């Protein structure tokens, strides 16, 4: 489910005003995933605090909080033994 792409969505979720809050509270294994690009923003600290508030306010003791790396495909390729040198991929 796409909730939106603005900081207002995060604020509404943190304050419990978003329609998705009920689903989040009722979730059995909720997870919050943020991308590493968030750390490049000037307001990164505020956004991180909002996402933590959402996790705490979900009233679910087992809310997971994870960061997804921007180059996750490249990380997986390294784990599988592929090595990228310049613009070439070697096995």
pLDDT (tens digit per residue) in 15-34 = 988 988 888 888 888 888 88
pTM recorded for the entire structure:
0.65
Band of pLDDT at residue 84, cut at 50, 70 and 90: low
Report DSSP letters for 40-71, one per residue: GSTTHHHHHHHHHHHHHHT--TT-EEEEE-TT
Name 25's Cβ contacts closer than 8 Å, sequence gap at least 6. 58, 59, 60
- The answer to whether residue 84 is domain-embedded is yes
Q: Domain range for residue 80?
A: 7-90
- The answer to whether residue 2 is domain-embedded is no
Give me the residue label for tokens 């490049």: 40
> How many domains, the chain?
1
Measured distance CA(23)–CA(30) in Å, rounded? 9
- The answer to whether residue 62 is domain-embedded is yes
- The answer to whether residue 59 is domain-embedded is yes
């Amino acid at each position: 489910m796409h909730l939106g792409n603005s900081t207002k969505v995060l604020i509404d979720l943190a304050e419990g005003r978003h329609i998705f809050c009920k689903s989040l509270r009722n979730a059995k294994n909720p997870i919050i995933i943020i991308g590493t690009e968030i750390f490049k923003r000037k307001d990164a600290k505020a956004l991180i605090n909002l996402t933590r508030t959402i996790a705490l306010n979900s009233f679910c003791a087992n809310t997971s909080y994870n960061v997804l790396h921007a180059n996750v495909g490249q990380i997986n390729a390294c784990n599988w033994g592929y090595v990228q040198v310049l613009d070439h991929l070697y096995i």
